[in-house]
Amino acid sequence: MKTTKILYYSATAVLTAIMCFSVFNYFFNHEMIVGFFENMGYPTYLIYPLAIAKILGLIAIWGNFSKWLKEWAYAGFFYDVVLAFFAHYMVSDGQHMFAVIAFCAVIISYFTGKQVRP
């Protein structure tokens, strides 16, 4: 059980760090992110709502308020990192490895979290 707790908190911390880095860039390096979004063909009006959704998702996971809310937060992060991987891969900007790391963190955090924080 101790190994499972270490895995859960480590993966959740990595996921949190990646999402906080993303949110920081969305808010404070907005012009750079607008360029990335335009390069990938995404509408730029998604930047702020996506940043807010990431913050709320992290609150739902760490807060452990309800199972339903936590499931939706993990689902949102899953889709976010999968779509981020393919977007970065398709434009060949070399940034897809963060999405791979985030994907592993989401999967590990989700499945170990079911045992550690039911």
Q: What is the pTM of this model?
A: 0.90
The percentage of the chain sitting over the pLDDT mark of 90, rounded to a whole number, equals: 79
pLDDT at 64 over 80: yes
Q: Which helix (H) or strand (E) holds 29?
A: none
pLDDT at 41 over 90: no
Q: 58-90: string of b/e by CB count within 10 Å (b at 16+)?
A: bebbeeeeeeebbeebbebbeebbeebbebbee
